Amino acid sequence: MNQNRKRFFPLNHALRIVLLVGVAVVHSAFNFAAHADRPNILIILSDDQGWGDVTAYGAKDLRTPATDALIKEGMRFDNFYANCPVCSPTRAALLTGRYQELVGVPGVIRTYPRDNWGYLAHDAVLLPIPLKKAGYHTALIGKWHLGLEKPNTPNGRGFDHFKGMLCDMMDDYWTHRRHGINYMRDNEKEIDPKGHATDLFTQWTVDYIKERGQPTTGKRQPWFCFLAYNAPHFPVQPPKDWLEKVKAREPGIDNTRAKLVAFIEHMDDGMGKVVQALKDTGQYDNTLIIFTSDNGGHAGSKANVGPYRGFKQDMYEGGLRVPACAVWKGKIKPGSRSDLVAMTFDLYPPACEAAGAKFDHAIDAASILPTLLGKPQKLERDLFFSRREGNARYQGQDYYAMRRGDWKLLHNTPFEPYQLFNLKDDPYETTDLSKKNRKKFNELSAALRKHIQRAGAVPWQKPAK
């Protein structure tokens, strides 16, 4: 040690500075190079956007150029499902890679205890945690909907940056209140911004992308951003000029439908601005972009769920099937299309794999990265859908669906019998086979009971075989 010090100190002071700076530059370059082959990850989630409410999915009265461009530049999914036909559970599944009822969120987390049906489990490992360990900066912009207080806030559950709303919805997109309470936050600080919520969420994301893309700020590290729009969730409130444009273009359109069309088009325009920010900052080519919706379209807003039966809240296909696409330049083939049956929680593992992030906790999801990269993939597994809800229709109980291959078992309230459909022969669920095919009915219902038992298991209970 002393000999080394004697050899070092006689060096010219200026030369020493040059050497130290050189080492720092090399170290910085090494760190950046280590991140250079790992993509930024941007997940965009719309709220209550029906399967058919994208031009590329067949909408005739609606224009979604930004979403259509992503589909053209990447991969479209034809059989993508939300984990639940309502908001909170799907978000919990996406961020944990687990079935929502196994992480404490079987139903909607609301702002008043008498109608709250979930609490995010303390041991649930949210997606930003493994990504942070892999060197990523993490951000959530927009709708959280998984808790109102510490520790169940975005910052408390792994996000470095949060700017958006904690609550389930807004009673007004301009004032941003829910039951008269302001749930808008910049990290832990209450804020009261002016403007339409969709525009705010868009601009905040653009700002984040630009900040992360600045090489002079010392923040050139890979990032994960979860942009969760509240649109087009009711109340449907498009800006006036967007509504007028739709009415002028679509003569005779129903007024309720016109509002929803304008609302979605306004959000789609925001998505376009976000993607443009990636391109302007040179980050587009190295960003994995995923877009989907949290559940099917809302019937009262006259959503388009394509040819499928049912809407939001229903376990029919219209309540669960959602548009979805992914873009990653040089990795995902432009204009590709997949018929793989996948769910929202299946986004957790590929995000980690793309980032080189490792985790050792249990998840229920499967990685769809092989499909995204154009490799053959077949997932043979049962898929389960659940929701708990209050009010007179549900009485605080759960209702379910499951899919095994082409077969689907479901009911839409806890108090109606299960129905059985073969989606290959009957994709629009018109003919209930529960009485005609009791063997298949019994097979699926037994598997569903076993799954239900998992959520209600106690520590000393042996797993069902």
What's this model's pTM, rounded to 2 decimal places? 0.91
Structural contact between residues 321 and 74, judged by C-beta atoms closer than 8 angstroms: no
Domain borders along the chain are: 35-380, 390-455
Domain 390-455 in CATH 3.30.1120.10? yes
Selected catalytic residue, list 87, 225, 325, 352: 87
Buried b (16+ CB within 10 A) or exposed e, 284-315: bebbbbbbbbbbbbbbebbbbbbebebbbbbb
**Residue 83 and residue 384 in contact, taking contact as beta carbons nearer than 8 Å:** no
Report the length, in residues, of the chain. 465
CA distance 51 to 304: 7
Q: Is 145 a catalytic residue?
A: yes
Which of 162, 71, 96 lies closest to 352, judged by CA? 96
Encode the chain (465 residues) as per-residue pLDDT tens digits.
333 333 332 333 333 323 333 333 333 333 333 445 799 999 999 999 999 999 999 999 999 999 999 999 999 999 999 999 999 999 999 999 999 999 999 999 999 899 999 999 999 999 999 999 999 999 999 999 999 999 999 999 999 999 999 999 999 999 999 999 999 999 999 999 999 999 999 999 999 999 998 866 545 799 999 999 999 999 999 999 999 999 999 999 999 999 999 999 999 999 999 999 999 999 999 999 999 999 999 999 999 999 999 999 999 999 999 999 999 999 999 999 999 999 999 999 999 999 999 999 999 999 999 999 999 999 999 999 999 999 999 999 999 999 999 999 999 999 999 999 999 999 999 999 999 999 999 999 999 999 999 888 877 777 777
User: C-alpha 158: how far from its chain's center?
Assistant: 16
Distance between CA atoms of 349 and 363, rounded to whole angstroms?
A: 9
CATH code of the region 35-380: 3.40.720.10
Distance in angstroms (rounded) separating the CA atoms of residues 346 and 348: 5
- Of the residues 137, 145, 233, 298, only one is catalytic, namely 145
E strand intervals along 229-369: 287-293, 324-327, 336-338, 342-343
Q: Catalytic: 27?
A: no
Cβ distance 124 to 135 under 8 Å? no
Are 428 and 79 a contacting pair, CB within 8 Å? Answer: no
Can you say whether residue 214 is alpha, beta or left, with left for phi > 0 and alpha for psi between -120 and 50 degrees?
beta
